[in-house]
Amino acid sequence: MELSHKTTILFSKNQFSSLKNLAKVKKTSIGDLIRSACEKVYASNDREEAVNAVLELEKLKLPVASVQEMKRDQVPFKEIY
């Protein structure tokens, strides 16, 4: 993978220490840990993963209706002070 863009991220002492230790254990760089985490969280385009997520939701057998019916059936929010 060609690395062509740079950014600056500020971490607390504890966050940085944790990342540094994890990178040492995994024998990689802090940058690689962060790139990997970003890829997993924000750039997942894995179709199989998305399909599996939908199938898992389907197993829950949640009630489904039209948008209009669901809006009608909503319980109004009432703030309590």
Could you tell me the two tokens for 22?
A: 């994890």
pLDDT digits (tens, 9 = 90+) for 35-74: 998 888 777 667 777 788 888 888 887 777 788 887 787 7
Could you tell me the two tokens for 80?
A: 């309590």
Residue 7: inside a domain: no
Q: What is the count of structural domains for the chain?
A: 1
Taking each helix axis as running N to C, give the angle between helix 13-26 and helix 30-42, from 0 to 180 degrees, rounded to the nearest 10.
Answer: 100
Residue 20 domain boundaries: 13-73
**Is the model's pTM score more than 0.75?**
no
Residue 38: inside a domain: yes
Residue 65: inside a domain: yes
Residue 32: inside a domain: yes
Tell me how far apart the alpha carbons of residues 30 and 27 are, in angstroms, rounded to a whole number. Answer: 10
Residue 55: inside a domain: yes
Residue 36: inside a domain: yes
